[in-house]
Amino acid sequence: MSRTTLSAPVPDWTDPDCPVARALDLVGDRWSLLIVRDAMDGVRSFTEFQRRTGIARNILTDRLCKLTARGLLVRRPAPSGRRQEYELTDVGRDLFTVILSLRQWGERHAFAPGEAHSALVDQHGTAVPKVTPTNADGLPLDVDTTRVRKIS
């Protein structure tokens, strides 16, 4: 799939010049990111998305349509041929780092010490290390070492 992320118009951007605002306009509601999270975990069917999230059918239908129209999911006939299933596109898969960062932030700040929670592990069962952005020299970046520059 191409890098184009929009196949359905978004009528009013919250902040037309800000990539963060545009991304949130596309996937910033609770349900969309949980659907993407579950698709990354291998969920494909409407029924399984609903079971895992607890989302109402009408809201799930709306979010699946939007995520499909915006190029994050593709809808295909299930192997049985009787139903449809949803699969992440390259655009949807590109949200992995976002989901990982949210997960790691949640692990650090959304649970009391010692409170049980899920953890993301690699294919060998080892915990995924903390994501830390770095500059070209490998030095850590944070809010004090970056700034926004408008690109024309």
Residue 34 domain-assigned?
Answer: yes
Q: How many angstroms separate the CA atoms of 53 and 51, rounded?
A: 6
Residue 24 domain-assigned?
Answer: yes
The pTM score is 0.87
Residue 35 domain-assigned?
Answer: yes
Residue 12 domain-assigned?
Answer: no
Q: Which residues contact 7 (CB under 8 A, 6 or more apart)?
A: 69, 70, 71
Using the predicted structure, report yes or no on whether residue 137 has a pLDDT greater than 90. Answer: yes
| Predicted pLDDT at 80 | 87
- Domain CATH code at residue 61: 1.10.10.10
Residue 116 domain-assigned?
Answer: no
Range of the domain at 59: 19-109
- In tens, the pLDDT along 42-86 reads 999 999 999 999 999 999 999 999 999 999 999 999 988 889 999
Q: How many angstroms separate the CA atoms of 61 and 59, rounded?
A: 5
Q: Where are the alpha helices (DSSP H) in 17-74?
A: 19-27, 30-40, 46-53, 57-69
How is residue 98 written in tokens?
A: 């976002």
Do 50 and 60 touch, CB atoms closer than 8 A?
yes
